[in-house]
Amino acid sequence: MQPSILHLPSSIIRPLTSDLIPQSAVCSRHSAVLRPRTSDLSHQSAVGSRQSAVLRPLTSDLIPQSAVGSRQSAVLRPQSSVLTLLTSLLLLLLISACTKKDDQVTTIHATPYTIQVPLHFPGELNIPEDNPMTVEGIALGRYLFYDGRLSGRDSPDSLMSCSTCHIQAHSFVCGINHPVFTGGHPRGLTGIQTSHFMLPMINLVWTNHGYLWNGLVSEENQNEGYRELEDVVGLVIELPSEIHGDTNRTKTMIQSIKGYPELFEKAFGSRTVTAKNISRAIAQFVRTLISADSKFDRFMQGQEQLSPSELNGYVLFMTEQGGDCFHCHGGEGNPLFTTNLFYNNGKDSVFTDPFDRFSVTGNAVDIGAYKAPTLRNLVFTAPYMHDGRYKTIEEVIDFYSSGLVWSPSISPLMHHIATGGVRLTPSQKADLKAFLLTFTDSTFVTNPAFSRPDKMPDEQ
């Protein structure tokens, strides 16, 4: 989930170490399926260190061999064989007991799930080693994503889940015409609005440069609670501008709901609900939200042809002399239609938002910079920009055509800043819009695998 507030109080930045369960069995069984990138493994050291406190053998329970030996040498030697036998039996019993205890937690029979990478898409996926994709984990995550009791409450006026704001019909933003969130700007249970408007929840499994508009949650973050999509879930549960809950209350609530303990056991090997596994399950589900069936995708696969207007727009999109869009939003070589990087794209010359990219990096070149969002399903994801200032695609095109504003931190990729924009003609604007609409993937917003389950676990 992508919370829109991007500057978080230190009081909620706490790793949920008490909730960790041993994942060694999961990782060893599924590593051949997932093959995480080497760069993804480096930032797991903190996770591994937290797990090691849970996984260490119960050595304090074992009888020290040196003590046994010294005692035996001081006793009558004829009895040494008997003592040795008794000691061995006791050790075997202890080891057996520990093994059984561990097996209850770590032996997982979840079914590995392999993401099928669409044609022309990048092959490197951002899947943490300690949370491999499984059929059971995804199914559990889907329930939790749509269950309002994720707030830790069950009264009708206190329910809130990921799906309260992330609505499939709008590519998992709330939409500009939302009946409660005026203008498409969501707010939490407290009534506090998020600092930024929403990013669409599309193809996040390929996000490798940080989540949120400013990339605060990133593998480069020194705080181990701000590194992965799983961490975003935990933060959203607690933030006042989001669910405004408490992870302890949430896990207690989910634990009490009929059907969930069994689902957690199937997914993670334990009937005990933990905040860590709630986050893991939801993150697994979100990683399946893949859009790859637009008209442009079919064009790239040779299955469909673009119209003359769309082809003209394609040329404008891909050339610096035209719309100059491809530097930040990709093209045929990058069908994600985002680099997932951060740019000051010339919206302002005065900057007052305390949650831009500069707030994360402290680097002056990042003042006023934000993530380049995907252009997929633009028709569903208005309003646009981090502050929702543009309500239509036409307004966005007009801005890039003649509304650019210079500032010292303007991205060097804004090649037309000296003329205030790319200066498109009316017909060129129409062609560029026609091409942008070829990124529309209607199957994504109707896919039943992404939608609310017909029944929650306690309704089965």
114-155 residue pLDDT tens: 999 999 999 999 999 999 999 999 999 999 999 999 999 999
CATH code of the domain occupying 17-52+114-290: 1.10.760.10
Residue 95 has pLDDT above 90, yes or no: no
Query: Mean pLDDT for the chain?
Result: 84
Strands (E), 89-216: none
Q: What is the mean pLDDT of residues 378-396?
A: 98
Give me the mean pLDDT over the 56-66 stretch.
Answer: 36
The answer to whether residue 375 scores a pLDDT higher than 70 is yes
Instruction: Give me the pLDDT at residue 109, please.
Output: 85
259: burial class by Cβ within 10 Å (0-12, 13-18, 19+)? middle
pLDDT band per the 50, 70, 90 thresholds, residue 2: low
User: Would you say residue 424 has pLDDT above 50?
Assistant: yes
pLDDT score recorded for residue 41: 35
Which CATH number, 1.10.10.60, 3.30.360.10, 3.40.50.300, 1.10.760.10, labels domain 295-439?
1.10.760.10
- On whether the CB atoms of residues 168 and 139 are closer than 8 A, the answer is no
Confidence of residue 10 (pLDDT cuts 50, 70, 90): very low
Residue 39, pLDDT score: 39
- Domain ranges within the chain, ordered by starting residue: 17-52+114-290, 59-106, 295-439
CA-closest candidate to residue 314, choices 328, 326, 302: 326
Write down the pLDDT at residue 76. 31
Contacts of 268 (CB under 8 A, 6+ apart): 21, 26, 108, 110, 137, 277, 280, 281
Q: How far is CA 311 from CA 52, 294, 319, 434, in A?
A: 55, 15, 13, 9
pLDDT at 296 over 60: yes
Q: How many CA atoms lie within 13 A of 442 on its CB side?
A: 3
17-52+114-290 against 295-439: fold identical: yes
State the Cα angle at 275 between 274 and 280, rounded to 5°.
95
CB 457 within 8 A of CB 263: yes
Tell me the pLDDT band of 242, cut-offs 50, 70 and 90.
very high
Q: What pLDDT shows up at residue 345?
A: 98
pTM for this one? 0.78
Evaluate whether 335 touches 405 at the Cβ level (below 8 Å).
no
Side-chain-side CA neighbours of residue 267 (13 Å): 32
Q: What is the pLDDT of residue 62?
A: 34
Please, which pLDDT band fits residue 85 given cuts at 50, 70 and 90?
low
Percent of the chain with pLDDT over 70: 77
Q: What is the pLDDT of residues 397-422, one digit of tens each?
A: 999 999 999 999 999 999 999 999 99
